[in-house]
A = this chain, B = another copy of it.
Amino acid sequence: MASSSIGWEELPYARTPLGLDASNLVFKRLDWPKPSSISETYLLSGAATDDDIMRGEETEAIGLLSQIPPTEHCVLILPGTHSKHLLISNGRIETFNTYMTGELFDVLTHHSILKVSTNADAPSSLDTADWKAFDDGVLRAAKSGLGLSLFQTRTRAILKQCPPAQNTRFLSGLLIGAELGDALARMTGAKLLLGGAAHLRNLYARALQVLGAKDFYEFSESQAAKAVPAAHALFLQNVWKR
Contacts and interface: CB of A to CB of B under 8 A. Distances in A.
Interface of A: 48, 50-53, 82, 97-101, 103-104, 107-108, 110-113, 145-148, 150-152, 154-156, 158-159, 178-179, 182
B148 A145 contact: no
B151 A99 contact: yes
Q: Which 8 A-B pairs have the closest CB atoms?
A: A98-B151, A111-B111, A107-B107, A107-B111, A100-B150, A107-B112, A146-B146, A99-B147
Which of A107, A108, A156 is most buried by chain B, counting CB atoms within 10 A of its CB? A107
Contacts of A53: 154-155, 158-159
Contact of A107 (B51, B82, B108): B108
Q: How many copies of the polypeptide does the oligomer hold?
A: 2
A32 B148 CA distance: 40
Contact of A179 (B50, B104, B147): B147
A154 B104 CA distance: 14
A148 B97 CA distance: 7
A15 to B, nearest CB: 11
Contact of A151 (B100, B108, B155): B100
A178 to B, nearest CB: 5
A147 B178 contact: yes
Which of A48, A97, A103, A156 is most buried by chain B, counting CB atoms within 10 A of its CB? A103
A9 B111 CA distance: 26
Nearest to A186: B148
A69 B99 CA distance: 44
A148 B99 contact: yes
Contacts of A99: 147-148, 150-151
A101 B151 contact: no
Given A111-B111, A159-B48, A147 B148 contact: no
A146 B48 CA distance: 21
Contacts of A111: 107, 110-111
Contacts of A158: 53
Nearest to A84: B151
Contacts of A156: 51
Contacts of A155: 51-53, 98
A116 to B, nearest CB: 10
Given A82-B151, A148-B182, A151-B99, A159 B112 contact: no
